[in-house]
């Protein structure tokens, strides 16, 4: 049975295979797993859009979480990979104080220019920029795990999607699902979200262990009859899976778009047509 998320602006909360709604701040932080002080340094990231395999040795952040001296390895969500400059037009940059979009982007990232002060931009553009530059505050905090934590490899319907809705694809890590749905709770736009059976591996680990396989993607597409649900056979994959783009396209027959590296960049990537904030936000 497909999981469904009704329209509205709350944070999805898993209830079996379906989702209910809560206020976004109610699930701002995912409960942390306690680990001993002599913790493993292996990182299994929980982000939607991972990093290239060559960077997999980078350590997670160590965070002390209680008086007993427990240590949590906090998963790296790769907010440092967010690049907002390509999404700014020359006209927008001139209106924001300079023709150099790289400098305008730098001001947005360092906080000297606030998205909410960019009155010439639409509310959707301002929200997308705000999510990108405030990603550390927006995305749920999740732990880095030594072992996979699989979620059901299901299809989730966000905001009652129809045949024109974008199809997002990622792995079936439980924490990946937490991060992605935490972001998708901040839009009223419709989406399909397909979790490929990566045995619970996060996207970056699925590249290492070769668990993000074309056959498994094709199985998910077929099981949920997505070719008949969507007007176009097009889907968006995590940026870390970019090396598999041609192989995935050849095996499935679908048009494959490569998304950004950090999920918080996704609203900018999708644009106003496919990302609208709740009214009044």
Query: What single-letter DSSP state applies at residue 25?
Result: G
Low-confidence ranges of the chain (pLDDT < 50): 1, 6-67
Torsion, Cα 204 9 89 91, to 10 degrees, reads: -160
- 8 A C-beta contact, residue 113 and residue 106: no
Q: What is the CATH number of the domain that holds 127?
A: 3.40.50.11600
**Residues in the chain, total:** 281
User: What's the pLDDT at 1?
Assistant: 46
User: What's the pLDDT at 88?
Assistant: 95
Instruction: Tally Cβ neighbours within 10 Å of residue 151.
Output: 19
Domain housing 280: 1-281
User: What's the pLDDT at 8?
Assistant: 45
Q: For a pLDDT cut of 90, what percent of the chain falls above it? A: 63
User: What's the pLDDT at 102?
Assistant: 93
User: What's the pLDDT at 85?
Assistant: 95
Count: domains in the chain: 1
User: What's the pLDDT at 2?
Assistant: 57
Read off φ and ψ for residue 169, nearest 5 degrees.
Answer: -125, 135
Question: Which position has the token pair 């967010």?
Answer: 82
- 8 A C-beta contact, residue 85 and residue 101: yes
3-state SS, residue 193: strand
3-state SS, residue 104: helix
User: What's the pLDDT at 177?
Assistant: 95
């Amino acid at each position: 049975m497909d999981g469904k998320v009704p329209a509205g602006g709350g944070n999805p909360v898993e209830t079996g295979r379906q989702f209910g709604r809560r206020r976004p701040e109610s699930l701002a932080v995912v409960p942390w797993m306690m680990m001993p002080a002599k913790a493993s340094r292996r990182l299994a990231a929980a982000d939607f859009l991972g990093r290239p395999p060559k960077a997999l040795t980078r350590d997670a952040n160590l965070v002390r979480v209680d008086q007993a001296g427990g240590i949590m390895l906090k998963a790296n969500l790769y907010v440092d990979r967010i690049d907002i400059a390509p999404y700014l037009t020359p006209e927008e940059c001139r209106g924001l104080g300079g023709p150099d979009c790289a400098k305008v982007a730098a001001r947005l990232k360092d906080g000297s220019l606030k998205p909410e002060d960019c009155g010439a931009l639409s509310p959707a553009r301002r929200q997308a920029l705000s999510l990108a530059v405030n990603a550390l505050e927006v995305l749920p905090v999740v732990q880095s795990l030594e072992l996979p934590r699989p979620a059901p490899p299901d299809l989730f319907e966000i905001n009652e999607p129809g045949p024109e809705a974008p199809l997002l694809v990622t792995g079936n890590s439980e924490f990946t699902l937490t991060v992605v749905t935490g972001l998708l709770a901040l839009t009223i736009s419709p989406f399909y979200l397909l979790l490929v059976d990566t045995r619970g591996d996060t996207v970056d680990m699925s590249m290492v262990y070769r668990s993000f396989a074309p056959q498994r993607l094709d199985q998910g597409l077929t099981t949920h009859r997505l070719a008949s649900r969507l007007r176009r056979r097009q889907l968006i994959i995590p940026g870390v899976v970019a090396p598999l783009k041609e192989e995935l396209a050849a095996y499935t027959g679908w048009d494959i778009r490569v998304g950004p590296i950090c999920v918080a960049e996704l609203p900018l990537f999708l644009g106003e047509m496919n990302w609208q904030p709740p009214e009044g936000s």
